[in-house]
């Protein structure tokens, strides 16, 4: 093989390599362009995620010095993480504090809280407790109600902007009817996602010892 043939072969191999690299680069850029286009489309229509981005759903107790919660042992100057399950006595009203965090900055439209199970046996939601509010000077416009299924709904007239990692607390008053474990569904709706976040906590109703 003479020098010309060698040079031609090297040029051909180089051309193939460059063509393969160009194809890979074009595919990568096309994928990136599609992602950017999809993100832009979601921004235009206000939908950045498929589901509302919520994390760290749990029960907790506030500091005793700030707010006393009847029927629970609190610490004077420290919040208590109760985890995913809480126990309440039958026939006695209890106040449950439900906490979650926003996994991304989002605009809260509202949330629902409701127990799964038969209407006559699951715990009854009596109403709400405005968590952390000591003195109210101006009402934030919202619609709050319990529907025929016994679920509590909160819908904001002016949607609330919450930052990434911002904490949110909802407090409801409940009373247990029959013994057993009941799933409390927490549903959160935001402007940035067409689908709600849905998570579950367990409320155990037991006879008072």
The string of pLDDT tens digits covering residues 61-78 is 999 998 999 999 999 999
Question: What is the spatial distance between Cα 118 and Cα 187, in angstroms, rounded to a whole number?
Answer: 19
| pTM (2 d.p.) | 0.75
One domain, residues 101 and 5: no
Residues 6+ apart with CB under 8 A from 158: 140, 141
Q: What is the pLDDT of residue 126?
A: 94
Residue 45 has pLDDT above 60, yes or no: no
Q: What is the pLDDT of residue 11?
A: 64
One domain, residues 15 and 75: no
One domain, residues 94 and 28: no
Residue 36 has pLDDT above 90, yes or no: no
Tally the domains of the chain: 2
One domain, residues 40 and 100: no
What is the rounded average pLDDT of the residues 135-151?
80
Q: What is the pLDDT of residue 54?
A: 97
What is the rounded average pLDDT of the residues 149-170?
93
Residue 146 has pLDDT above 70, yes or no: yes
One domain, residues 85 and 27: no
One domain, residues 40 and 97: no
- Dihedral, CA of residue 102, residue 104, residue 108 and residue 111, to nearest 10: -40
pLDDT class of 208 with cuts at 50, 70, 90: confident
- Helix extents (H) in the chain: 3-45
What is the rounded average pLDDT of the residues 178-197?
96
Q: What is the CATH number of the domain that holds 159?
A: 2.60.40.10
Q: What is the pLDDT of residue 33?
A: 60
Residue 197 has pLDDT above 60, yes or no: yes
**Mean per-residue pLDDT of the chain:** 86
One domain, residues 90 and 115: yes
Which residues does residue 142 pair with via DSSP β-bridges, in sequence order? 156
What is the rounded average pLDDT of the residues 154-181?
93
Tokens 């709050």 correspond to: 144
Domain span including residue 30: 1-45
One domain, residues 58 and 155: yes
Q: What is the pLDDT of residue 128?
A: 86
One domain, residues 39 and 66: no
One domain, residues 72 and 153: yes
For residues 59 and 21, the model is more confident at 59
Question: What is the spatial distance between Cα 122 and Cα 88, in angstroms, rounded to a whole number?
Answer: 13
One domain, residues 22 and 103: no
One domain, residues 176 and 100: yes
């Amino acid at each position: 093989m003479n020098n010309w043939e060698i040079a031609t072969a090297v040029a051909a191999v180089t051309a193939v390599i460059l063509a393969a690299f160009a194809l890979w680069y074009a595919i990568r850029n096309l994928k990136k362009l599609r992602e950017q286009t999809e993100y832009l489309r979601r921004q235009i229509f206000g939908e950045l995620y498929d589901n509302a981005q919520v994390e760290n759903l749990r029960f907790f107790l506030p500091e005793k010095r700030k707010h006393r919660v009847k029927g629970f042992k609190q610490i004077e100057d420290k919040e208590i993480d109760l985890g995913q399950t809480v126990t309440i006595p039958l026939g006695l009203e209890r106040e449950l504090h439900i906490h979650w965090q926003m996994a991304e900055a989002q605009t809260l439209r509202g949330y629902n809280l409701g127990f799964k199970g038969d209407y006559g046996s699951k715990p009854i939601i009596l109403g709400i407790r405005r968590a952390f509010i000591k003195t109210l000077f101006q009402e934030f416009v919202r619609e709050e109600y319990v529907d025929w299924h016994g679920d509590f709904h909160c819908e904001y007239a002016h949607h609330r902007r919450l930052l990434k990692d911002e904490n949110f607390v909802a407090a409801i008053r409940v009373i247990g009817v029959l013994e057993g474990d009941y799933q409390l569904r927490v549903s959160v709706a935001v402007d940035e996602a067409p689908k709600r976040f849905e998570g579950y906590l367990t409320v155990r109703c037991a006879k008072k010892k």
